[in-house]
A = this chain, B = another copy of it.
């Protein structure tokens, strides 16, 4: 990358400080960094060649898009880019990169925690504890339990590897069925999910939110699951039809659900999901281990260094697919979520 000192815009938000790593990076890499909030974005974009979405949930880019006259690259400090993508961006030549890889291991650990908590009935024990009630109950062994991981991108693969390490039997669900996947072995088609979920003790959604995955876990899927099964969602809330899940839980057709993501976030105070039987809710935190913001900032700086050196960027999103294509991109598998 040559030419005059480029300007990089960093989108932040009230209460969200820009990364401390940026000053040193700007000096080292000879770039001008301008930190703005959403309402200043349209003013700042003209002449800017790169945009760093540090406020990764912001949907401000679409509104300011006409002002992006020389923009080459947008980096999103998140795994899911669903809140960024819009048609004009897809059609443009702007490169989009994401936080590929940063969340894989933390989210996999969170999924394992959710599966173990369900198997060992930890939430039920906590309710009993609150009531000072001693009640011996039988738990289940996770070794040998079957887990269907929907989404065969980086996060889904790390989930599969970690679950296999503790002795679970794992399958994947992706765009193309196969029997020889290095992490999953068997991969079934995610557009035929209802035909395959009956096999599983746990069904984990790890897909990016795209038109293909919106509403993927619906009433038909829940009806095909075993009544003692458990659903985990660490992808995006809109990939799961919450009303259908609620009905299945209330009618005892499904034993449990661990949801870290919801159709509306924050989950409204009056949502019936909070009190649904067997439902465990957390506040979209599955990947956010101590130090996560530093990792995200460092990842951006590393890509900024590549950009200035004219090297290929990492974590490049296929804006048509809506995610970073994985090892099977040629044949159309699910990418990283």
Contacts and interface: CB of A to CB of B under 8 A. Distances in A.
B265 A134 contact: yes
Contacts of A26: none
B129 A120 contact: no
B269 A132 contact: yes
Contacts of A290: 138-141
A247 interface: no
Q: How many copies does the complex hold?
A: 2
A136 interface: yes
A114 B120 CA distance: 9
Contacts of A269: 132
Contacts of A285: 136-139
A37 interface: no
B282 A125 contact: yes
A132 B141 CA distance: 31
Contacts of A274: 129, 132
B166 A134 contact: no
A139 B106 contact: yes
Contact of A129 (B116, B142, B281): B281
B125 A116 contact: no
Contacts of A162: 166
A194 interface: no
A38 interface: no
A36 interface: no
Contacts of A70: none
A42 interface: no
Q: How large is the interface on A (under 10, 10 to 19, 20 to 34, 35 or more residues)?
A: 35 or more
Interface in A96-137: 105-106, 109-110, 112-114, 116-117, 119-120, 122-123, 125-126, 128-129, 132, 134-137
A162 B125 CA distance: 23
A114 to B, nearest CB: 8
A105 B120 CA distance: 13
Contacts of A143: 105, 109
Given A122-B117, A139-B106, A112 B166 contact: yes
A266 B138 contact: no
A305 interface: no
A126 B128 CA distance: 13
A243 interface: no
Contacts of A129: 274, 280-282
Contacts of A265: 134
A280 B126 CA distance: 7
- Residue among A117, A122, A128 with most chain B CB within 10 A: A122
Contacts of A282: 122, 125, 129
A189 to B, nearest CB: 30
Interface string A260-273: 00000111011100
A302 interface: no
A284 interface: yes
15 contacts: A109-B119, A109-B120, A109-B143, A113-B113, A113-B116, A114-B122, A120-B286, A122-B122, A125-B280, A134-B267, A136-B285, A138-B290, A139-B286, A140-B289, A165-B165
Given A132-B267, A139-B289, 4 more contacts: A109-B166, A113-B120, A114-B122, A132-B274
